[in-house]
C-alpha cells in the first residue's frame, strides 16, 4: 500500500513536488520540530482568552484571582518541562549515572553507545530524534519537543497535572455559570409550559440557547481534555510508583514473551525425551521377555507415540495398520499374540492394555468351555458307534 500510494503521488504531482512534500512530511512527523508546541500554546491561549472573555464577568471575586493563578502556573510548568535537562549522558557525568543505575545483566549489559561513543548506563537509551543518550529514558514527548528522562521527569508530571487542573477548573467554572447564572437565574426550574414544569431536556436546550453554543462547547472540550490528560498523568504516577519507565514496560513484556517461549520449548524437549526413554524401556523389556504379545504391544506404542508428535489423529490409523501387518506376517504365534492383545490397540497403549486383559479373560473362558466340547462330541460318537 505505501508503494502504491508513492507511485500514485509521483504521477499526480510530479517528481520534484513529491520529493519536496516528502521531505517536509519527514521533518514534520519523523523529525524534531516545534509543531505540537505551537499547537499546545495556540489551544491554551485561545481557550484561556475565550474563558476570560465569556466567563470572567460572572466569576466571584476569589475565582477571579484564582483563574489568573491557574493560567500562569500552566504556562510556567510548560516552560520548565521544555527547558529542563532530561538527563543527557556525557563523558563528564556517565560515571555518576552508572553508579545510580547498576547493570542487571538481564535487560541491561555494560556496552558503549555506537553513536555517542560513550558508556551506556543501565536504563538509558539513545534518542534518534534528539541524537543523544538520556539517563533513565522514558519516552520522547513531541508536546515539549524533547526527551523525558531522569532530569525532567518530575517537571513533565507537573506539566501534565497542571494542564489537567487548568482544563478541569475551567470546565467546573463554566458549569457553575451555566447552572446558577442561566438555569437558576432565568428561573427555568420553576418555569412551566402549558401548565406543566419543564423537563430536563427542555431546560438544557434553553440553557444552550441563552448561554450560547460556544460556552457549552468550550466547557465540554475543556472537561474531556482535562480528563484525558489526568488519566495520562495518573498512568505515569503508577509507573513511577513501580520504578518502571514507559520504554521498560515494552522491554519487560518482550522479555516475558521470550522466557515463556523458551520455557515451552524446554517442556516439549523434556516430554520428547521421556517418551523416547519409555519407548526404549519397552523395547528392552520386550527383548528380555521374548513374549510375542509384549513385543507387539511395544511396537504399537512406538508407532502411536511417533504419530502423535506430528498428527494425533493419525496415531490411531497407524497403530491399526501395524496390528493388521502383524496379523499377516507374524504367523501362528503372532495370531495368538493378537488374540491376547485384542482390538483396542488403535486407541493407544492404555486402551490396548485394558482390551488385552478383557480379551484374554474371554479367551480363557472359551477355551475351558471348548475343551469340554470335543470330549462330549467324542463321547457322542463313541456312544453313537456303540449304538450302531
- Residues with active-site annotation: 141
| Contact yes or no for 125/134 (Cβ under 8 A) | yes
| Contact yes or no for 173/55 (Cβ under 8 A) | yes
Q: Is the dihedral of CA 88, 94, 97, 98 positive or negative?
A: positive
Alpha-carbon radius of gyration of the chain: 42
Burial (CB count within 10 angstroms: exposed 0-12, middle 13-18, buried 19+), residue 333:
exposed
CA–CA distance, 14 with 27 (Å, rounded to integer) = 20
- How far is it between the farthest Cα atoms of the chain? 140
- CA distances to 50, 166, 377 from 62, in Å: 19, 16, 122
Burial of 115-126, coded b for 16+ CB within 10 Å and e otherwise, reads ebebbbbbbbbb
Amino acid at each position: 500500500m505505501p508503494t502504491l500510494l508513492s507511485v500514485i503521488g509521483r504521477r499526480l504531482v510530479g517528481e520534484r513536488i513529491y520529493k519536496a512534500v516528502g521531505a517536509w512530511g519527514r521533518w514534520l512527523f519523523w523529525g524534531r520540530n516545534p509543531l505540537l508546541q505551537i499547537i499546545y500554546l495556540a489551544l491554551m491561549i485561545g481557550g484561556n482568552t475565550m474563558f476570560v472573555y465569556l466567563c470572567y464577568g460572572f466569576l466571584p471575586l476569589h475565582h477571579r484571582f484564582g483563574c489568573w493563578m491557574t493560567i500562569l502556573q500552566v504556562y510556567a510548568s510548560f516552560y520548565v518541562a521544555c527547558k529542563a535537562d532530561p538527563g543527557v549522558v556525557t563523558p563528564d557525568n556517565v560515571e555518576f549515572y552508572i553508579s545510580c543505575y547498576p547493570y542487571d545483566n538481564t535487560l541491561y549489559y555494560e556496552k558503549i553507545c555506537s553513536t555517542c561513543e560513550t558508556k551506556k548506563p543501565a536504563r538509558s537509551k539513545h534518542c534518534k530524534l534528539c541524537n543523544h543518550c538520556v539517563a533513565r529514558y522514558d519516552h520522547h514527548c513531541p508536546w515539549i519537543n524533547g526527551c523525558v528522562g531522569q532530569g525532567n521527569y518530575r517537571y513533565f508530571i507537573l506539566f501534565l497535572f497542571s494542564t489537567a487542573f487548568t482544563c478541569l477548573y475551567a470546565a467546573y467554572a463554566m458549569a457553575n455559570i451555566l447552572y446558577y447564572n442561566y438555569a437558576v437565574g432565568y428561573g427555568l426550574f420553576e418555569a412551566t409550559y402549558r401548565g406543566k414544569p419543564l423537563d430536563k431536556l427542555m431546560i438544557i436546550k434553553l440553557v444552550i440557547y441563552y448561554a450560547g453554543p460556544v460556552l457549552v462547547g468550550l466547557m465540554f472540550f475543556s472537561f474531556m481534555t482535562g480528563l484525558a490528560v489526568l488519566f495520562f498523568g495518573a498512568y505515569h504516577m503508577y509507573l513511577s510508583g513501580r520504578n518502571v519507565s514507559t520504554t521498560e514496560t515494552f522491554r519487560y513484556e518482550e522479555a516475558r514473551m521470550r522466557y515463556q517461549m523458551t520455557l515451552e520449548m524446554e517442556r516439549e524437549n523434556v516430554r520428547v525425551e521421556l517418551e523416547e526413554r519409555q519407548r526404549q524401556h519397552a523395547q528392552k523389556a520386550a527383548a528380555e521377555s521374548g513374549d510375542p504379545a509384549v513385543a507387539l504391544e511395544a511396537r504399537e506404542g512406538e508407532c502411536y507415540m511417533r504419530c502423535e508428535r506430528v498428527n494425533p489423529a493419525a496415531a490411531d490409523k497407524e497403530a491399526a495398520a501395524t496390528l493388521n501387518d502383524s496379523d499377516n506376517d507374524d504367523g501362528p504365534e503372532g495370531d495368538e499374540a493378537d488374540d491376547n492383545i485384542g482390538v483396542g490397540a488403535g486407541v493407544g497403549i492404555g486402551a490396548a492394555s485394558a482390551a488385552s486383559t478383557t480379551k484374554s479373560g474371554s479367551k480363557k473362558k472359551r477355551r475351558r468351555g471348548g475343551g469340554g466340547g470335543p470330549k462330549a462330541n467324542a463321547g457322542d460318537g463313541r456312544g453313537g458307534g456303540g449304538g450302531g
